[in-house]
Homo-oligomer: A and B are copies of this chain.
Amino acid sequence: MSRRSWYACPAEKVISRLTSKVTDPIRVGVVGLGRGFALTAPSALVSQFVQFLAATAPREESRAAFQDIFRGVTYLSYHDLLNDPSIEAVHIATPHQLHAEMAMQAAEHGKHVLVEKPIAISLSDAERMISACEINEVTLIVGPAHSFDGPILKAKQLIESDQFGRVLAINTLNYTDFMYRPRRDEELSTVDGGGVLFSQGAHQFDIVRLLAGGQVTEVYASTGRWDMLRDTEMSYQAMLRFSNGVTAQCTYSGYARFDSDELQGWIGETGNPKDPDNYGGSRKALVDFSRDDEVRAKLARTFSAKNLRGIAANNEHFGPLFLQCEHADLKIGPREIIVYKDFEKEVIPVPLIGGPREPVFKALYDSIRLGKNPVQTGRWCLGTLQVCHAVLDSAKRREPVFI
Which residues of A pack against B, CB within 8 Å?
168-169, 171, 173, 175, 218, 220, 222, 224, 226, 235, 237, 239, 241, 247-249, 251, 253, 255-259, 263, 279-280, 283-284, 287, 320, 322, 324, 326, 328-331, 338, 340-345, 398-400
- State how many angstroms separate the Cβ of A163 from the closest Cβ of chain B: 14
Instruction: Return the chain B residue nearest A279 by Cβ.
Output: B345
Instruction: Return the chain B residue nearest A341 by Cβ.
Output: B257
Interface of A, helix, strand, loop or mixed by DSSP: strand
| Choice from B257, B258, B280, B324 contacting A257 with Cβ under 8 Å | B324
Instruction: Return the chain B residue nearest A227 by Cβ.
Output: B326
Question: Is A344 a contact partner of B400 (Cβ separation < 8 A)?
Answer: no
Question: Is A253 a contact partner of B324 (Cβ separation < 8 A)?
Answer: yes
Q: Give Cα A253–Cα B328 distance, bound, in whole angstroms.
A: 12
Q: Give Cα A324–Cα B224 distance, bound, in whole angstroms.
A: 10
- State how many angstroms separate the Cβ of A231 from the closest Cβ of chain B: 15
Provide the residues of chain B in CB contact with A241, threshold 8 Å. 222, 398
With A235-B324, A398-B241 in contact, is A251–B253 under 8 Å at CB? no
Provide the residues of chain B in CB contact with A173, threshold 8 Å. 171, 322
| Choice from B247, B329, B338 contacting A237 with Cβ under 8 Å | B247
Q: Which 7 residue pairs of A and B lie closest in terms of their CB atoms, listed nearest first?
A: A257-B329, A257-B340, A258-B329, A222-B247, A280-B343, A220-B220, A258-B340
- State how many angstroms separate the Cβ of A266 from the closest Cβ of chain B: 14
Q: Give Cα A329–Cα B175 distance, bound, in whole angstroms.
A: 10
Q: Give Cα A257–Cα B237 distance, bound, in whole angstroms.
A: 25
| Choice from B218, B239, B279 contacting A344 with Cβ under 8 Å | B279
With A249-B237, A249-B239, A398-B241 in contact, is A168–B324 under 8 Å at CB? no
Question: Is A280 a contact partner of B342 (Cβ separation < 8 A)?
Answer: yes
Instruction: Return the chain B residue nearest A326 by Cβ.
Output: B226
Provide the residues of chain B in CB contact with A328, threshold 8 Å. 257
- State how many angstroms separate the Cβ of A332 from the closest Cβ of chain B: 11
- State how many angstroms separate the Cβ of A291 from the closest Cβ of chain B: 19
Question: Is A171 a contact partner of B237 (Cβ separation < 8 A)?
Answer: yes
Provide the residues of chain B in CB contact with A171, threshold 8 Å. 173, 237, 251
Provide the residues of chain B in CB contact with A284, threshold 8 Å. 343
Q: Give Cα A255–Cα B322 distance, bound, in whole angstroms.
A: 13
Q: Give Cα A326–Cα B255 distance, bound, in whole angstroms.
A: 10
With A329-B258, A343-B280, A345-B280 in contact, is A169–B247 under 8 Å at CB? no
Provide the residues of chain B in CB contact with A235, threshold 8 Å. 169, 324
With A237-B169, A239-B237, A283-B342 in contact, is A255–B400 under 8 Å at CB? no
Q: Give Cα A255–Cα B325 distance, bound, in whole angstroms.
A: 10
- State how many angstroms separate the Cβ of A262 from the closest Cβ of chain B: 8
Question: Is B258 a contact partner of A331 (Cβ separation < 8 A)?
Answer: yes
Provide the residues of chain B in CB contact with A280, threshold 8 Å. 341-345
Provide the residues of chain B in CB contact with A169, threshold 8 Å. 222, 224, 235, 237, 253
- In addition to A175-B329, A280-B345, 10 A-B residue pairs with Cβ atoms within 8 Å of each other are A220-B239, A224-B324, A237-B239, A237-B249, A255-B324, A257-B342, A258-B324, A258-B330, A279-B344, A283-B343
Instruction: Return the chain B residue nearest A171 by Cβ.
Output: B251
